[in-house]
Each structure stands twice: as C-alpha cells, then as structure tokens.
Amino acid sequence: MLSIRNLVKVYPGPVPALQGVSLDVATGMFGLLGPNGAGKSTMMKIVAGVLEPTSGDVMLDGENVTAHPERLWPILGYLPQDFGFYPHLTGEAMLKYLLELKGVTAPQGMKRLVADLLERVNLSPAAKRKVKDYSGGMRQRLGIAQAIAGDPKLLIVDEPTAGLDPEERHRFYRLLAELAERRTVILSTHIVEDVAVLCPRFAVFRQGQIVTITSPSAARRSIEGMIFEGAVSGPELDELRKTRRVTQAYLVEGRNHVRIYQPDGIAPPGLAPDDPTLEDAYLVAMQGEIGTWRAA
C-alpha cells in the first residue's frame, strides 16, 4: 500500500505546486489525471524520491520513503516525463547499463533479457543504433523498457504515452496492464484515454490539489443523462458557448459538433442525448462541477 500524507511542495517564487495532497494507492493501476501544471509530475517525482517535498510523507508498506528514498529505489520502476540517455551509447548498451545498475537478472542471461525487453517495446531493429539518433518515440520506448525491467514493487510512469503512435500506445497499455496485476502502478497523464483504458481508479488533479478520486465508470455514471450532442453552425456554437456548458466542441467532416453538459437533463434545442464519455466527465470536473462527482 502506498500512502501519501499531506504532501506540500512549494517552488521558489514561491509557487505552490502541491497543496496538501493525501492519497492511498493499493496494488493495481492508479491514474493521476489533470491538465499540464496541475502538480502531477511534481508528486510523481516526490514519490519516486528524486524531489524533496516541502512537507508531508510518502509511505510504502509502512516505510517512510520520503526520508529514505534509497530504500525505495531498489523496488522502483520509474519513467519520468522528461528524460534523456547517454547519447553516445547504443540503445542496447544503454538498456543493459540501466538493467545492471538496477540489479536486474533473468535466467536467460542479460544479453537475452535486453533483447527480449527491446522486442517488447519494438526497438529490436534499432538496438545497435546510438541513442542520439533515436526519434522521440523511440526514446520513450527505451524509457519504458527500463522502467518495466526487473520486478518493481512500485511502478511510476509519468506521461508514458507522450510521443507514442497509436500502435505503440496500445502495446504499452498491454504491458502496463500485465504489470499492474501484481504491483502498484501509478500512471500520470493528461490523456483521458490512458485512464479510460487502464485505470480502475484514478484521481483528478487541479492546481496542486486532488479534485476527486473515482473510477472511470463511476465518473461517467455521475453525468449520465446530462450530455447532449449535435451538429451546429458557427454562430450557434458561439451562442451555445455563452449560454450553455459546452464540454467539447470539435469538427466532423468540416461541420461543428458540440457536446453540452446540462445538469437538469433537459435537451437544448437541436441537440440529442448521448452516452457520457470519461472525457466529458473530466472536463465537467475541470469546470468546477466537483460536487457532481462526489455525489456519484
């Protein structure tokens, strides 16, 4: 069990990044969903032991890892949001180096294990290329390979799907889902789909605070019957923005489509009821409808 208690982080300025976050995360996948700058990465860094909090504690199975991060690192898999590698090493050499530093072993030997991991992140063909020649997505996959290596008790992945194409994203989902069966995985993302696909529970972050902790289905249920969708003209969209709570506005084949949150469930003229998505729920929450979720 990972327990986070009253975590506060203030950056020079002073800029408050976390304002007393408390959270309990059990085995399995847990998502942190929030916009950029909400404090997700700050919390991930603190949990990973690479950033000192201003106050508060992080406990893993009763061990205070804030005070002794070195006790966490041997059982941690960590994929930061921003990272790099030694540019002059090949992908294979870099991963081997990291695995050795993490003390990872496998019956088939290090060389085979490196090859297997690279295969899982689809980097086998580029194993011999220098990391400096990798694309952004390839670097991300190499980061994923090192994070999932070993038998981490806690896996922290910060914006892991950034830069991945759809195919790779789904491959990664499968990897994470498998890993989450026997350990705690914390996934930080601003992509709602990541949470929708992977996380049975997640927390929504806004301005350094947890807005709510829920599950995707509960979040969707909380706004059931309150989402309406339809095609509108440009002037109509402008009018709706002024008078209604537009959760999403997007183009389909060149025409404006709009989704509106209507708490009273009465359909606005020209719009039809639709099943709520997790994105609707998230955007509603971001617009300040916290109470709705809590009620759910």
Partner 1 sequence: MARGMSLRRFLLVVREELVYNLKRPSFWIMLLLVGLLVWGFSNGNVRVGLASGDSSVGGKKAYLTSEFALTQVVCLVSFILFSFFAAVAAGLAVIRDLEWKAGEILHATPLTAAEYVWGKFIGVLATFVIGLALTLGLMILFFQLLPNSDMLETRGQFALRNYIVPLIMMGLPIVVFACGTSFGVGTRTRRPILVFVLPIILLLVCGFFLWSWTPTWLDPRVDRALMLIDPSGFRWLLQTWFKIDRGVDFYNTQPVTWDTGFVLSRIGIVLVGLVSTGLAARHFRRTLRSSGKVTTRAAKSETPPTADLVVAPTTTTLGSLGMTASAPTFWRGFRLVAGAELKELRSSPGLYLFVPIIVWQTLGNALLAIGAFDTPLLLTPGTLAVRAMGSLITLVSLLIVFYAVESLERERATGFSSIHDALPVSAGSILAGKAVALGVVTLSAIGAVFLGSAIALLIQGRVGLDPRPFIIVWGLLLLPGIVMWTCFVFAAYAVARNRYTTYGITLAAFGATVYLALTDNLNWIDNWPLWGALEWSDMSVFEFDRTALLLNRLFVLSLAVVFLRFAIRHFPRRDGDSISVLHALRPAELFRSLWQSIPWLAVPILLAAAILHQISIGPNGDRAEKKAKDYWRKNLATWTDAPLPALADAEVDVAIDPARRAWRVKGQYLLVNKQNVTLREIPLTVGHWDEMKWEVNGASAKPDTASHLFVFTPSVALAPGDSLRIGFSYSGVERGSTRAGGGASEFIVPSGVVMTSFGPRWFPMVGYDEAIGVEDENRAEPKQYAKDFYEGTTPPAFGSQLPMTVRMTITTPADFTANGVGEKISEEIRNGLKITTWKTDHPVMAFNVVAGRFSVKTGQGTALYYSAAHSYNTTEMIGALDAARKHFGDWFAPYPWKVLKVSEFPALAGYAQGFPTNISFSEQIGFLTKSEPKTNLAFLVTAHETAHQWWGNMLQPGRGPSGNILSEGMSHFATALLLARVKGDLPGMEFRKRIESRYADNRQSDAERSLARTDGSHDGDETVMYDKGGFVFWMLWDLMGADRNFAGLRQFITDHQNNPDHAVLHDFKVHMRRYATDVGSYDQFVNQWLDSVVVPEYRISEARSVKTAGGWKTSVRVTNIGTGIMPIEVAAVIGDRPLDPTEKPKAAYRAAKATIVLGSKEWKAVTIESSFKPDRVVVDPDVRVLQLRRAAAELKL
Q: Is 249 in the site for partner 1 (CB under 8 A)?
A: no
Q: What is the DSSP code (8-state) at residue 131?
A: G
Report how far residue 256's alpha carbon sits from residue 234's, in angstroms, rounded to the nearest whole number: 7
Distance of closest approach, residue 87 Cβ to partner 1, in angstroms = 6
# residues contacting partner 1 (CB under 8 A):
72
Sequential DSSP letters for 65-99:
TTT-HHHHGGGEEEE-SS----TTSBHHHHHHHHH
**Interface with partner 1, residue 63, by CB under 8 A:** no
Rounded-to-integer distance, Cα 68 and Cα 3, Å: 15
Site for partner 1 in 68-87 (CB under 8 A): 69-70, 73-76, 78-87
Cβ 136 to partner 1 shortest distance, Å: 10
Q: Does 12 bind partner 1 (CB under 8 A)?
A: yes
Q: Assess 175 for contact with partner 1 (CB under 8 A).
A: yes
120 binds partner 1 (CB under 8 A): yes
Closest separation between CB of residue 214 and partner 1, Å? 28
Residue 10 touching partner 1 (CB under 8 A) = yes
β-sheet with 184-189: strand ranges across: 76-79, 154-158, 184-189, 28-33, 201-206, 209-214
Are 124 and 116 within 8 A, CB to CB?
no
- Assess 151 for contact with partner 1 (CB under 8 A): yes
DSSP state of 204: E
Nearer to partner 1, 86 or 233 (CB): 86
Region from 26-34, 124-132, 186-194, 278-286 binding partner 1, contact rule CB under 8 A: 124-132
Task: Give the binding range for partner 1 (CB under 8 A) out of 132-140, 184-192, 231-239, 266-274.
Answer: 132-140
Question: Could you tell me which stretch among 128-136, 185-193, 212-220, 269-277 binds partner 1 (CB under 8 A)?
Answer: 128-136
Q: Which of 5, 129, 221, 245 binds partner 1 (CB under 8 A)?
A: 129
Which residue's CB is nearer to partner 1, number 100 or number 239? 100
14 touches partner 1 (CB under 8 A): yes
The CA radius of gyration of the chain, in Å to the nearest whole number, is 21
| Residue keyed to tokens 């006790």 | 71
How many C-alpha atoms does 248 have within 13 Å on its Cβ side?
Answer: 19
Binds partner 1 by CB under 8 A, chosen from 3, 20, 51, 257 = 51
Select the residue interacting with partner 1 from 57, 116, 193, 236 (CB under 8 A): 116
What is the rounded distance in angstroms from the CA atom of residue 106 to the CA atom of residue 226?
Answer: 52
136-148 vs 166-179: helix axis angle to the nearest 10? 10
